[in-house]
Amino acid sequence: MNQFDSDSREIIRAISHNNGRATTTEIRRETGLENSSVRYRYGKLENAGLIETQKDHDATLDGVAPMTVATITGKARRKIDEGLTFEQELQRAEVEPQDNADRIRELEKEIAEMREIVRTLKENQNWIGPQVEQLVAESDEAIQER
């Protein structure tokens, strides 16, 4: 299981999450890997019997190179059941888009609260500043009168 680097396991996870079949483009979107990284790992994963790739001429327009489609094999499914992609699943589970959206809302609320505090402090400063100046002036006058 450890013979595969995290990018290879991430590719397997991406294909699995796409019902066991995904184009290179879909895998790249899901993993964030460069095209060359995905294609490099195709060979390793095919040699290990974890995926099969084929060109899908129907998925592209005429005159455009056919898309490569990767499909996970039964062996890959067994390896997934044994924990091949567990680490990737765990990492993904820690940062889900909904979690991010909730956290962003929390942070926006905190920012709004802090802005209100700053506004209040500025108002107090504007009120206190002249009061302090008046007290200093009165103290100076009192000192001079003595």
pLDDT in tens, 42-99: 999 999 999 999 998 776 666 677 889 999 999 988 888 888 776 666 565 555 566 6
The pLDDT value recorded for residue 66 is 84
d(CA 68, CA 90): 28
State which fold the 6-94 domain adopts.
Arc Repressor Mutant, subunit A (1.10.10)
Give 8's contacts (C-beta < 8 A, 6+ positions apart): 41, 44, 45
Provide long-range contacts, Cβ within 8 A and 24+ apart, for 118-125.
Answer: none
Instruction: Yes or no: say if 35 and 68 are a contact pair by the CB < 8 Å rule.
Output: no
Q: What are 87's strand-pairing partners?
A: none
Mean pLDDT along residues 30-51:
93
Amino acid, single-letter form, for residue 13: R
Instruction: Yes or no: say if 29 and 5 are a contact pair by the CB < 8 Å rule.
Output: no
Instruction: Yes or no: say if 12 and 85 are a contact pair by the CB < 8 Å rule.
Output: yes
- Please, is 9 exposed, middle or buried when counting C-beta atoms within 10 Å of its C-beta (0-12, 13-18, 19+)? buried
pTM, entire model: 0.56
Of these ranges, 83-92, 95-104, 120-129, the one predicted with the greatest mean pLDDT is 120-129
Residue 71: in which H helix or E strand, if any? strand 67-72
d(CA 93, CA 73): 24
